């Protein structure tokens, strides 16, 4: 895996399986790791919002969530880079978590959707330790939310607040949260809810 820059975004040139393997390695590590799935809107957003640059450089892994990015990469001779959507990543990591005993916290979506997603995940993986909280909160609620997440001791935190808010949230609180693997997953929690 080398790095391919498209505009400001340093993409890792991994296959989907390599991305999953990286993520499970991160989940087993002590230190916090940040993974971003970047689609075309996100790439364009990074041109307008300079405040996102340190976050891009600090992320452990940025994967392309858009076929245009994959095609651009092929033109540059990177045939190993594959599209990895937030949903695919979440689904594969939930399966890995059930197998390996990782605890998973889902932050985001409406209260109804979050509750449905938790029920669906528990139905698929009865042995998986999963908890969650909806993504509609004020800045004043953040300390309480950080406490709630920390108290659960997750290895994996999936944050679905929409891009780039979820990436900013993860970046701002990565040390406070100190979760081994944190990923922004967009509308994935709604999809898990069915
Ligand atoms: N969302 C949230 N809090 C907010 C705004 C949005 O939890 O204040 C959730 C929303 O309910 C949805 C997700 O964030 O589940 C955004 O999904 P979308 O597909 O729009 O995000 P994208 O994939 O474009 O980042």
d(CA 88, CA 96): 12
Alpha helices, DSSP H only, in 76-141? 86-100, 111-124
Mean pLDDT of 60-83: 90
What's the gap in Å between 79 CA and the centre of ligand 1?
31
Domain count, the chain: 1
For the chain, the first-to-last Cα distance in angstroms comes to 34
For residue 9, list its beta bridge partners.
Answer: 6
Question: By alpha-carbon position, which residue is closest to atom 23 of ligand 1?
Answer: 186
Judge whether residue 106 has pLDDT over 80: yes
Q: Separation of 15 CA from ligand 1 center, angstroms?
A: 26
C-alpha angle 116/102/121, rounded to 5°? Answer: 20
Q: According to DSSP H, which parts of 65-187 are helical?
A: 67-75, 86-100, 111-124, 142-152, 165-177
The whole-number pLDDT of residue 76 equals: 86
Report whether residue 1 contacts ligand 1, using a CB cutoff of 6 Å: no
User: Domain range spanning residue 130?
Assistant: 3-193
pTM, to two decimals? 0.97
């Amino acid at each position: 895996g080398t790095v391919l820059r498209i505009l400001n975004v340093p993409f890792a040139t991994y296959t989907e399986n390599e991305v999953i393997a990286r993520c499970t390695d991160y989940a087993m590590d002590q230190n916090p790791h940040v993974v971003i799935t970047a689609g075309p809107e996100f790439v364009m957003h990074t041109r307008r919002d300079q405040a996102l640059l340190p976050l891009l450089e600090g992320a452990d892994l940025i994967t392309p969530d858009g076929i245009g990015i994959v095609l651009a990469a092929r033109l540059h001779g990177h045939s190993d880079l594959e599209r990895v959507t937030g949903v695919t990543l979440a689904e594969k990591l939930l399966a890995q978590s059930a197998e390996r005993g990782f605890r998973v916290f889902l932050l985001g979506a409406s209260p109804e959707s979050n509750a449905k997603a938790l029920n669906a995940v528990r139905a698929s993986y009865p042995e998986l330790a999963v908890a969650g909280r909806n993504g509609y909160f004020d800045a004043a609620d953040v300390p309480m939310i950080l406490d709630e997440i920390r108290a659960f001791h997750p290895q994996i935190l999936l944050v679905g607040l929409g891009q780039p808010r979820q990436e900013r949230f993860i970046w701002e609180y990565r040390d406070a949260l100190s979760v081994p693997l944190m990923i922004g997953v967009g509308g994935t929690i709604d999809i898990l809810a069915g």
